[in-house]
Chain A
Amino acid sequence: MADLRYGAALNRALADAMAEDGDVIVMGEDIAGAGGSFGVTRGLLDRFGAGRVIDTPISEATIAGAAVGAAMGGLKPVFEIMFMDFATLTMDAMVNQAAKARFMFGGQCSLPIVLRTPHGGGLSAGPQHSQCLEAWFAHVPGLKVVCPSDAASAYGLLRGAIADPDPVVFVEHKGLYARKWDAPDDLAVLPLGQAAVLRDGRDATVVCYGAAVHLALAAADGLAAEGTSVEVIDLRTIQPWDEATVLASLARTHRLVIVHEAVEAFGVGAEIAARMADVGFDELDGPIVRVGAPFMPVPFAKGLEAAYQPSAAQVVAAIRKAMGREFSQEA
């Protein structure tokens, strides 16, 4: 066991995947010489050379389109989009080309592409450098979407994403890069599509992903002190999401809260809530409650951004609401 930072785990995953498979290439803006805006690709250029660790011009649409062509040619491109907000510029390549190629060409090819990108606020980075747009991609048949919450899962899921035959949008949280966790030296590769139950509980289930996992864990800690037992599920993969694990948990706790930093409206939580209201209706003993950002752009000012981002206190309140106790406690 050793301390491992989220960013270092991602770096190790890239290096291990590249060492194992000569067809894996890494590309993006400032990822080679500069080692990436958040340092995730540091050292890869020296180890694997400029042929496989490729600095690109500031041309997001063409980087993504080139990844499609490169994958058709047998490479496994992993490209970094410096901020998830800039992924809006890749939309044709991701949505119309990558997501459709296998389907519309009759299964002639698979496109093993990974778009790595950081989302989330907390840096006062403002409306164009802070958004959580994962639901956009999760809505598109043919794309997979992943969002790890800690170092070990960042490693395992990135390896899993690179090994996956289909296009994956791999979302990292900016606020997690420098955080560290105890992690085994021998990190496991994680398959996509499997959630993890991080904490067992009997009174309520909280489904979350990415940095929101830590809000849920903090909320669960707080409620445990007053005798409420909360189960925390880290979704890990947003598309395809692990419906069976969520449903099984709901069948134990009968209460469901979904937490994410992305805007609540039309978000990942809406889909999970709708599915559980359908297939899990008989298990529900209370309303499904979502915690997400309000329907507004991410503000720049520190105080405004703090008010914008979901908090552990909001998660606690949501759990109480789901349990029909919203007016009790707290005071």
Chain B
Amino acid sequence: MAKAQKPTSNHGGLLPFYEALQLIRQCEERLGQLFADGEVPGFIHLGIGQEAVSVGVMSVLGTQDTIASTHRGHGHALAKGIPLDGFFAELLARADGVCGGRGGSMHVADMRVGMLGANGIVGAGVPIALGSALAHRNRGTGHIAVSFFGDGALAEGVLHESFNMAALWKLPVLFVCEANGWSEFSPSARQIAFDLEAWSAAYGVPCVGVDGNDVVAVAEAAEKAVALVRGGTGPVLLECRTTRVRGHFEGDAQKYRTADEGDARDPIAIAEARLRAQGIAESELAAIADEVRARIDAAVTKARASGPASFAAARADVYTPLVLGEAC
């Protein structure tokens, strides 16, 4: 292999995207391995194939913009800027985890970077994002809230309530549907009766559809959508058509899937093709992948060195100690 060489140009902004895609992909591949090795307790849902949605949308958000995520939320958390050490320590259920090892994959959150939490309940993050948008507006922060949900969540009642309420109140919220075609173990086509764009139009919410596997396309569409939301005209729906490469959860035998789903359009391969067209050297791409791998290695090493989550600390955090008494 040619010696890796750090790139000297960011190739029109594409290199930071590529690095972010690599970070999410490699983190999740590592998590898959750690899970198989028994180092990650519980169960995890990987978003391999969907990374461009997180990277593209987050590229147009600031730290104080807020996001409410899903059970498939690693990419959202990482793209929003959750520290890698705290992320891996959380997934490995350690005391140094960003949530003290009490949340794990399905509840990873970091309020400091506006990540209001992954969520174990399908669709439950949608009204949380709505409320966050209400807080942004009432407190005059100028920030927006973003609600990520999958196409499976389109069948949840709160999603319909939230679209109505957000449109009614013209709240600064961006709805992002990560349409991977699956509602857990069933094709969404067998679960959802309506066409997303027509449905959204019924609420008066503009819908922008985009190839969710092309990070540049997502970023451009998100930029337009977010500009509308920041402009105060109300919510926008960004439909990102994407691919769930893995099962619903790690260990899912996926007997419900067939080989004829067509080629997954890999977001990393698409980004690499764009970079190659711009003349990037293979060694530069390799350097990025290597650097990301080294960061992950270091974070996993640190996580393994962290102590187990504390039962006493957990028990003491059911309610707020009254001396604090302050909201986050």
What residues of chain A have their CB less than 8 Å away from a CB belonging to chain B? 23, 25, 51-52, 56-57, 59, 61-62, 64-77, 92-93, 96-97, 100-112, 141-142, 144, 163-166, 240
When distances are taken between beta carbons in the complex, the residues of chain B under 8 Å from A70 are 131-132, 134-135, 138
Within 8 A of A (CB), among B124-147: 124, 126-136, 138-139, 141, 145
Q: Which of A61, A75, A142, A164 contacts B135 (CB 8 A)?
A: A75
Asked if A73 contacts B158 (CB within 8 A), the reply is no
When distances are taken between beta carbons in the complex, the residues of chain A under 8 Å from B112 are 108
Asked if B318 contacts A52 (CB within 8 A), the reply is no
The 9 closest A-B pairs by CB, nearest first: A73-B135, A69-B131, A65-B127, A109-B328, A106-B100, A66-B131, A106-B99, A59-B161, A62-B161
Binds A, one of B115-123, B182-190, B229-237: B115-123
When distances are taken between beta carbons in the complex, the residues of chain B under 8 Å from A92 are 121, 124, 158
Bound: A77/B128 CA distance, A:
13
A-B contact pairs, 20 of them (CB 8 A): A56-B165, A59-B164, A66-B134, A67-B131, A68-B131, A69-B129, A70-B132, A70-B138, A72-B128, A73-B139, A74-B328, A75-B138, A75-B139, A100-B107, A102-B317, A103-B102, A106-B97, A164-B325, A165-B322, A165-B326
Bound: A26/B168 CA distance, A:
17
When distances are taken between beta carbons in the complex, the residues of chain A under 8 Å from B145 are 69
Bound: A92/B161 CA distance, A:
14
Q: Which of B99, B126, B138, B324 contacts A110 (CB 8 A)?
A: B324
Asked if A69 contacts B128 (CB within 8 A), the reply is yes
Asked if B318 contacts A73 (CB within 8 A), the reply is no
Bound: A240/B116 CA distance, A:
27
Chain B CB within 10 Å — which of A52, A71, A105, A142 has the most? A105
CB distance from B84 to the nearest CB of A (A): 17
Bound: A106/B124 CA distance, A:
20
Within 8 A of A (CB), among B100-120: 100-103, 107, 109-112, 116-117, 119-120
Q: Please give me the residue from chain A that is nearest to B314 by CB atom.
A: A103
Q: Please give me the residue from chain A that is nearest to B109 by CB atom.
A: A105
B226 within 8 A of A: no
Bound: A163/B320 CA distance, A:
12
Q: Which of A51, A68, A103 contacts B127 (CB 8 A)?
A: A68
Chain A CB within 10 Å — which of B99, B134, B322 has the most? B134
CB distance from B135 to the nearest CB of A (A): 2
Asked if A69 contacts B130 (CB within 8 A), the reply is yes
Asked if B124 contacts A104 (CB within 8 A), the reply is no
Chain B CB within 10 Å — which of A59, A65, A93 has the most? A65
When distances are taken between beta carbons in the complex, the residues of chain A under 8 Å from B126 are 62, 65
Asked if B135 contacts A102 (CB within 8 A), the reply is no
B98 within 8 A of A: yes
Given A70-B132, A144-B319, A107 contacting B138 (CB threshold 8 A): no
Bound: A146/B326 CA distance, A:
20
Q: Which of B101, B111, B120, B164 contacts A57 (CB 8 A)?
A: B164
Asked if B132 contacts A61 (CB within 8 A), the reply is no
Asked if A62 contacts B162 (CB within 8 A), the reply is yes
Apart from the given pairs A71-B131, A96-B120, 17 other A-B contacts in the complex at a CB distance below 8 Å: A23-B139, A65-B126, A69-B133, A69-B134, A74-B139, A74-B327, A92-B158, A97-B121, A103-B314, A105-B102, A105-B109, A106-B99, A106-B317, A107-B313, A110-B325, A142-B318, A165-B319
Given A101-B117, A105-B109, A112-B327, A65 contacting B128 (CB threshold 8 A): yes
Chain B CB within 10 Å — which of A52, A100, A103 has the most? A103
Chain A CB within 10 Å — which of B131, B138, B141, B328 has the most? B131
Q: Please give me the residue from chain A that is nearest to B112 by CB atom.
A: A108
Bound: A73/B138 CA distance, A:
10
When distances are taken between beta carbons in the complex, the residues of chain B under 8 Å from A111 are 327
When distances are taken between beta carbons in the complex, the residues of chain B under 8 Å from A108 are 98-99, 109-112, 328
Given A105-B109, A110-B320, A73 contacting B136 (CB threshold 8 A): yes
Bound: A163/B324 CA distance, A:
12
When distances are taken between beta carbons in the complex, the residues of chain B under 8 Å from A25 are 138
Asked if A65 contacts B158 (CB within 8 A), the reply is yes
Q: Which of B135, B164, B326 contacts A69 (CB 8 A)?
A: B135
Q: Please give me the residue from chain B that is nearest to A59 by CB atom.
A: B161
Given A70-B131, A112-B327, A57 contacting B138 (CB threshold 8 A): no
B279 within 8 A of A: no
CB distance from A93 to the nearest CB of B (A): 7
When distances are taken between beta carbons in the complex, the residues of chain A under 8 Å from B109 are 104-105, 108
When distances are taken between beta carbons in the complex, the residues of chain B under 8 Å from A57 are 161, 164-165, 168
B157 within 8 A of A: yes
Given A52-B138, A72-B135, A144-B319, A65 contacting B124 (CB threshold 8 A): yes
Q: Please give me the residue from chain A that is nearest to B117 by CB atom.
A: A105
CB distance from A101 to the nearest CB of B (A): 7
Q: Please give me the residue from chain B that is nearest to A69 by CB atom.
A: B131
B66 within 8 A of A: yes
Q: Which of B99, B158, B314 contacts A61 (CB 8 A)?
A: B158
Q: Please give me the residue from chain A that is nearest to B95 by CB atom.
A: A106
Asked if B110 contacts A109 (CB within 8 A), the reply is no
CB distance from B303 to the nearest CB of A (A): 15
Q: Please give me the residue from chain A that is nearest to B141 by CB atom.
A: A73
B68 within 8 A of A: yes
When distances are taken between beta carbons in the complex, the residues of chain A under 8 Å from B98 are 106, 108
When distances are taken between beta carbons in the complex, the residues of chain B under 8 Å from A103 are 102, 314, 317-318
Given A110-B326, A110-B328, A93 contacting B102 (CB threshold 8 A): no
Bound: A59/B139 CA distance, A:
23
Asked if A105 contacts B134 (CB within 8 A), the reply is no
Asked if A72 contacts B124 (CB within 8 A), the reply is no
CB distance from A52 to the nearest CB of B (A): 7
Bound: A203/B89 CA distance, A:
58
When distances are taken between beta carbons in the complex, the residues of chain B under 8 Å from A74 are 135, 139, 327-328
When distances are taken between beta carbons in the complex, the residues of chain A under 8 Å from B320 are 102, 110, 165-166
CB distance from A305 to the nearest CB of B (A): 31
Q: Which of A66, A107, A109 contacts B327 (CB 8 A)?
A: A109
